[in-house]
Structure 1
Amino acid sequence: MASFSTVSCGVCDSQHTTTNADYWCPECDEGLCSQCLKYHSASKALRNHDIISVDNYKQLPPSIANISPYCSQHDRKFKNYCPQHEKSLVQNLKDIKLNFERVVKDRKQNLVEIQNQRQKFHDEIKQLRNKINEHLDSLEQLILQDLYAAEEKVKSQIEDFLGKLAEHTEKRDLLQTNMSAIKEYALDLQAFLGSKMVETEIKKHEIFMQSLFEDGSLHKIDLNCKIKNNLSDVLSTVTSFGSISVESSSPLVVLQTEKDKQAQIRTFHHAPPTTINDIKMTLKRKFEFTCVTGCSFSSKGDIFLVDYGKIHLLILKEDGTLHSDIPLSNPNPVDVTCIDDKTVAVSFPSSNQIQIINILTKSIESRKKTSSSCYGICYRNGHLLNCNIGTGIQKVNRSDNCSFTLIKDETLSNWSFVTTSKDKIFYTNNSDDTVTCYSLTGEKMWEYKDQSVRSPRGISVDKDSNVYIVSSGNNSILVMSSDGKQARKLLGQDDGISKPCGLQFDVKKETFIVANYYGPFLYGLC
C-alpha cells in the first residue's frame, strides 16, 4: 500500500516505472496517474470503480487507509462483509453525540442546582446571623439600660446625701461664727448660757455624723455586671455555624444506545405493547369514602387516600378494608405519594407546604415549604416533584429541602397533577386544558389539547407508557398514547364517574384507582 507522503501509480510500478499518482482506486487498492486512469476507466471490469483524488485519499486516518480489501495470504479480494454495519456505526455515533449532549445538559443543570443550593444556604446562614445579631443587639440594649439606670439611682442617692451634708455644713459654720462672737463680746453669763446652747447643737451634729456610719450611708457602692454563662459559653462551645456535606443520588439522565434499541425491538417482538385501543378494564371494587382527592399505592399494594373533607389520610389493605386512619394537622390536603414502606408525602396548597408523614407512628417527620400553592405531587429517586401555581413543576430534595424549578410554566393553575415514568415527566394544567410531556432534563416532548380533555387533573402511566388522565370537566377517564397523539375515553358518567380528581396506576398489579369525589373506584386491566 502506498505511503501518504508519496503515492505512486500502481500500474506504472508494475512496469518498473515510477510515476506519482493523481488518483486512488479503493477497490483496486492502488494509485493511478492521469494516463493510467484513462485505461482504467476504459476497462469494462474496472470502469464502475469509484475513483477518488489522492488528496482525498490522504485525508483518511492511517489506521483506516492501511486496511486492505485484499487477503494478504491469497491476494484475493474480500467478498463477505456486513453492509448494515456502517449504518449501525453511523447511528452509534449519532447516539454517542446525543448521549454527550444529554450528559452535558444534565451536568450543566446539576451545576445550576448546586449554585442555587449554595445561594439558598448562603441566604439562610446570613439570615440566621442577622437574627442572632438582632437578638444580641436587643439584649445589649436591655442590659445597657439597666446599667445606666443603676448608675443614675446610685448617683441620685449620693447627690441627695451630699445635699444633706451641705445643710449640716452651713449650720456648723454658723455655730463656729457664733462661738467666736460669744468668746469675743458676750458677758460671762451670756457666754455661759450661749456655750450651753452651742454645746447642744454640736451634740446634734455628732449624733448625725455617728448615724451616717450606723445606717450605711457611708458604705462604698459599686456597680457589678454578670454576663450569662450560657452566653459566654457561645465563644467556646459553638465552634461552627453548621456543616456542609455533598450527597449523590441516582442519575436523572438516561443514555441511549443501539443495543438498547435492538433489545427493545426484541422484547417488543415477544411481548407487544398494549395500545390504547387494546385496553379493557373491569371494576374490582368501589370504596365507601367521599371527598377523596388524592390517591397512591405502596410497594406492598396498600392504598393511600386523601380525605379532603374530613382532613384524614386513609390507608386501605388490598381487599379494601381500612388498615389505618391518620388525622392530618392542616386543612385542605389534596394529593399523596408513597415514598417508602414507612413514609408518604401529602400536599397542602392552602398552607404552601408538603408534609412527610410516618404512617407507622402517625406523626409528621418534616414540613417542606413550597414557593406557592402546591397541588399534585409525586416521588422519584429521593426527590419530590410538585405542581406549584404560577411557577411550574418544582423539584424538592427530600434530604436537604433544597428546591428549584425544573419546568417553568407560569400558566400552571390549581388542581394540576404530575407523574413520572422512565425518563419522562407528565403533568396536567387544569385551567389550560392541556396534558404536557417533558424529559427529565427539562426538554418539552409534546403537548395535548382537545375538547375531550376538560379541566384535567390526576395523571398516571402504565408499563407501556400509555397515559391515563382524569378529565374532571367531562366526568371521564381518558387513556392517551405515549406520543401524545391519540386519546380515547375509558370511563364516563355511565360508569359512576362523578367529580373525579386523583388517579394512580399500579404497574406491578396492573390496576388503577380513581379518586372519585363520591367514592373511589379500583379497576383492573383485562
Structure 2
Amino acid sequence: MASCSTVSCCVCESQHTTTNADYWCPECDEGLCSQCLKYHNASKASRNHDVISVDNYKQLPPLIANISTYCSQHERKFQNYCSQHASVCCPLCIQSNHANCVGILSLENVIQTAKTSVLLEIIDQNLKDIKMNIERVVKDRTQNLVEIKKQKQKFHDEIKQVRNQINEHLDNLEQKILQDLHAAEDKIKSHIDDKLGKLIEHTEKLDILQTTMSALKEYASDLQTFLGSKIIETEIRKHELFMQSLYKYDSLQKIDLNCKIEEKISDLMSAVTSFGSISVESSSPLVVLQSEKDKQAQIGTLNHAPSTTFSDIKLTLKRKFEYTGVTGCSFSSTGDIFLIDHSKNRLLILNESGTLKSEILLSKNYPVDITCIDDKTVAVSFHNSDQIQIINILTKIIDSMIKTYSDSHCLCYRDGNLFSCNASIGIQRENVSGNGSSTLNKDATMSPWSFVTTSKDKIMYSNYINSTVTCCSLAGQKMWEYKDQLIRNPRGIAVDKDSNVYIASSGNNSIIVLSSDGKQARKLLGRADGIDSSFGLAFDIKKENLLVANYNGPVLYEIC
C-alpha cells in the first residue's frame, strides 16, 4: 500500500509546522491538513484538483502511489501523451524527443476516460486469462504425475512378475532396472515440480496485480489509473511471456514412462545382459492456453510466424468461391469461412477448400456483415436495421439481439464487445452480454458502408464517403488518418499480425495495404487479380490468408 505511516501536511511543513494531513492531492503530490485544504480549494491553480482522503491514499499500492505527475528529466508537469511511443511528455520532452512524432495528444483529454476505457477491461481479462491458464497447466501437470505414478506401478508389477519366474541370477539385473525406473520418475517429478513452483510464484504475483487493479480502480486518480494501467500491462506481458515460454521450450509436453521387457528373457543365462530399458517419451501437450483475445485474433496457439516487412507483402490467388451477392465475411478459430449472402438472406459456412458445411437462413432481409464471437457463436448485422443478431451456428437459433443507436451495417468483435459503424454517429461499442454501450469515436460523416476492425490497442475504420482510413485508440482518441487517391470509397478493412491494414478500395477495384503507422501505402491487387465490387475483408492470422468478399464471388488470397 502507499504508506502505513503518518502523512504530514506539506504546506504546514514548508512553514516549519508539523501537522498531520487529512487529505492528499495526487496532482500536487502532497498531503494537506483540513485548514490548508480550504486554501487549496480556493486557489485558482488548484481548485479543480481531485483531492482524496489520506485513508484512501494509503490504500494505493506503491506501484500506483509512486507515479509522479512531473517529468524527472525536465521537472515540468506532464501535459501530453505520445501515442507513437506510448509515453507521457512535458512540453520540453516534445521539443527534445517527440518533435517528429505523429499523434501527440492532450493528456487531459486522454485520461478523462481512463477509468471507463476498454483498456481496464482488457487488463482485467488478461489477469483472469493468465490465472486460468496457470490453473489449467497445474491441473494438467498434476494429472500427468498421477499417470506417471500409475505407469510406474504398472511396469513395476511387470518387472516383478517376470523376475519371479526366473532364478537368483536375475537379482542384479532386476535391481538395476528398478533403479532406472525410479530414477526416470524422479527426473520427471523434479522437472514438473520445478515448473509447478514457478507457476505458483506467478500466481502469487498475479494475485498482487489483481489487488493493485482493485485499488487502482477504487482509489487512484485518473493519471495514476492511466499510468498505472500501463505499468500493470507491462507486468502482465512478462507473465504472458512466461506462459509462452512453457510452450516454446517444450515444458508442457505430455511425459510418459515406457518399459520394454526383453523378448528372450527365458534365454537370459546365455544371451540376455540386461533386464530391459526405461525410456521417457514426450508427446504434444494436452492442455491448450486460451484467452478471449486469442479467440478473436484466431491464432490458436502461442507460436507466431516471422514478421513480413511492409515492402515484401505480396498476395497470390489461392481459391475462388462460386457464390454471388456476398457482402460480409469472417474466419472461425478453426479456419472455417463465414460468408454473408446479401441477396438470398443466408449465412454460408464453408471449409477452406470451398465445400459447403452448413447453410443458415436468416430471419431478417438483407444481411450485411458478420463477425465470429467464439467457436459456436457469430454476430450478424442487417441493412437499414438497428438490430444485431447473435446466432448459434450449431443450433441455427438466435441466442440474443442487440439494439444499436442507428443503422449498424459493419462490425467486429473483441474481448466481449462488438464494435460497429453507426451511420451518422461513429464507432459504437456494445457489450455482448448486454451490460452497456458507448460511442467511442464520433463521426457524423460515417456512412452505412464503413467497416471497422481492431488490432492490439487500436481501432481502425474506413469512411466510404470521405475516402479515408482512420486509426484511433480504444478510448476513441484519433491517432492518424490516411487519405490519398490510392484509396477511393473504401469498404472492408482487416489487419495482419503486424498491424498492417488491408483496405478494399471499391472506387478503383483494388486492395491496398497501409503500414501500421498510416504513413505508407501500396496497391496489392487490382481488377486483373480478381478484385471486383469488393465489400468486407477478413484476415486469418494463423494461416496468413486474406478473404475478399467480392459481391460477384469471394476470393481467398495468401501472403507469399
Per the normalisation by structure 1, the TM-score is 0.52
Partner residue in 1 for 2:462: 428
Residue type of the alignment partner of 1:524: E
Asked whether the equivalents of residues 429 and 435 of structure 1 are also in contact (C-alpha less than 8 Å), the reply is yes
What's the CA shift for 1:291?
0.7
C-alpha distance in 2 between matches for 1:457 and 1:259: 35
| 1:286-297 map, 5 Å | 286-297=320-331
2:538 pairs with 484, 504, 508, which one? 504
1:398 pairs with 419, 432, 436, which one? 432
Partner residue in 2 for 1:214: none
Residue type of the alignment partner of 1:477: I
| 1:352-391 map, 5 Å | 352-391=386-425
Partner residue in 1 for 2:500: 466
Could you give the per-residue CA deviations for residues 12-66 of structure 1, whole angstroms, max 9, x where no partner exists?
Answer: xxxxxxxxxxxxxxxxxxxxxxxxxxxxxxxxxxxxxxxxxxxxxxxxxxxxxxx
Asked whether the equivalents of residues 505 and 512 of structure 2 are also in contact (C-alpha less than 8 Å), the reply is yes
Could you give the per-residue CA deviations for residues 387-426 of structure 1, whole angstroms, max 9, x where no partner exists?
Answer: 0000000000111252211111111012000000000000
The structure with the largest alpha-carbon Rg is: 1
Other structure's SS at 1:406 match: strand
Asked whether the equivalents of residues 413 and 419 of structure 2 are also in contact (C-alpha less than 8 Å), the reply is yes
What's the CA shift for 1:350?
1.7
Asked whether the equivalents of residues 315 and 525 of structure 2 are also in contact (C-alpha less than 8 Å), the reply is no
**Structure 1: which 5+ residue stretches go unaligned?**
1-85, 115-248, 264-269
Report the aligned-residue RMSD: 3.7
Could you give the per-residue CA deviations for residues 161-191 of structure 1, whole angstroms, max 9, x where no partner exists?
Answer: xxxxxxxxxxxxxxxxxxxxxxxxxxxxxxx
Query: Is 1:524 matched up with 2:524?
Result: no
Asked whether the equivalents of residues 315 and 557 of structure 2 are also in contact (C-alpha less than 8 Å), the reply is yes
Asked whether the equivalents of residues 469 and 482 of structure 2 are also in contact (C-alpha less than 8 Å), the reply is yes
Could you give the per-residue CA deviations for residues 235-272 of structure 1, whole angstroms, max 9, x where no partner exists?
Answer: xxxxxxxxxxxxxx9x99665769989x9xxxxxx997
- The 3 A distance-change label for structure 1 pair 330 and 259 is closer
| 1:177-256 map, 5 Å | none
What's the CA shift for 1:306?
0.2
- The 3 A distance-change label for structure 1 pair 254 and 319 is farther
What's the CA shift for 1:275?
2.8
C-alpha distance in 2 between matches for 1:296 and 1:422: 18
- The 3 A distance-change label for structure 1 pair 275 and 351 is same
Asked whether the equivalents of residues 392 and 408 of structure 1 are also in contact (C-alpha less than 8 Å), the reply is yes
Residue type of the alignment partner of 1:407: N
C-alpha distance in 2 between matches for 1:322 and 1:434: 36
- The 3 A distance-change label for structure 1 pair 372 and 316 is same
Partner residue in 2 for 1:328: 362
Residue type of the alignment partner of 1:458: G
C-alpha distance in 1 between matches for 2:536 and 2:558: 17
Runs of 4+ in 1 over 6 A off after TM superposition: 100-103, 258-261
1:491 pairs with 499, 502, 525, which one? 525
Partner residue in 2 for 1:245: none
Asked whether the equivalents of residues 275 and 481 of structure 1 are also in contact (C-alpha less than 8 Å), the reply is no
C-alpha distance in 2 between matches for 1:281 and 1:424: 24
Query: Is 1:307 matched up with 2:358?
Result: no
Q: How many equivalent pairs are there? A: 297
The percentage of counterpart residues that share the same residue type is: 62
Other structure's SS at 1:335 match: strand
C-alpha distance in 1 between matches for 2:313 and 2:369: 26
1:276 pairs with 310, 314, 323, which one? 310
C-alpha distance in 2 between matches for 1:467 and 1:316: 25
- The 3 A distance-change label for structure 1 pair 487 and 314 is same
Other structure's SS at 1:350 match: coil
Partner residue in 1 for 2:116: 109
Other structure's SS at 1:399 match: coil
- The 3 A distance-change label for structure 1 pair 254 and 383 is farther
- The 3 A distance-change label for structure 1 pair 110 and 501 is closer
Partner residue in 1 for 2:548: 514
Other structure's SS at 1:337 match: strand
Residue type of the alignment partner of 2:512: L
Asked whether the equivalents of residues 328 and 340 of structure 2 are also in contact (C-alpha less than 8 Å), the reply is yes
C-alpha distance in 2 between matches for 1:332 and 1:477: 25
- The 3 A distance-change label for structure 1 pair 323 and 448 is same
- The 3 A distance-change label for structure 1 pair 425 and 289 is same
What's the CA shift for 1:429?
0.5
- The 3 A distance-change label for structure 1 pair 451 and 344 is same
- The 3 A distance-change label for structure 1 pair 280 and 368 is same
C-alpha distance in 2 between matches for 1:355 and 1:316: 20
Partner residue in 1 for 2:33: none
Please say which of residues 375-384 and 395-404 is displaced more in the overlay: 395-404
Partner residue in 1 for 2:157: none
C-alpha distance in 2 between matches for 1:362 and 1:258: 42
What's the CA shift for 1:104?
4.4
What's the CA shift for 1:349?
3.0
Asked whether the equivalents of residues 408 and 420 of structure 2 are also in contact (C-alpha less than 8 Å), the reply is yes
Asked whether the equivalents of residues 388 and 412 of structure 1 are also in contact (C-alpha less than 8 Å), the reply is yes
Partner residue in 2 for 1:59: none
Partner residue in 2 for 1:319: 353
C-alpha distance in 1 between matches for 2:456 and 2:413: 13
Residue type of the alignment partner of 2:444: E
Asked whether the equivalents of residues 368 and 401 of structure 1 are also in contact (C-alpha less than 8 Å), the reply is no
Residue type of the alignment partner of 2:479: M
Residue type of the alignment partner of 1:282: T
Partner residue in 2 for 1:142: none
- The 3 A distance-change label for structure 1 pair 103 and 456 is closer
Query: Is 1:345 matched up with 2:379?
Result: yes
**Structure 2: which 5+ residue stretches go unaligned?**
1-71, 79-84, 90-106, 122-216, 218-224, 242-303
Residue type of the alignment partner of 2:349: I
C-alpha distance in 2 between matches for 1:428 and 1:523: 21
What's the CA shift for 1:274?
2.2
Could you give the per-residue CA deviations for residues 106-152 of structure 1, whole angstroms, max 9, x where no partner exists?
Answer: 444359x99xxxxxxxxxxxxxxxxxxxxxxxxxxxxxxxxxxxxxx
Per the normalisation by structure 2, the TM-score is 0.49
C-alpha distance in 2 between matches for 1:411 and 1:346: 23
C-alpha distance in 2 between matches for 1:329 and 1:421: 31
Other structure's SS at 1:473 match: helix
What's the CA shift for 1:448?
0.4
C-alpha distance in 1 between matches for 2:477 and 2:549: 30
Asked whether the equivalents of residues 349 and 357 of structure 2 are also in contact (C-alpha less than 8 Å), the reply is yes
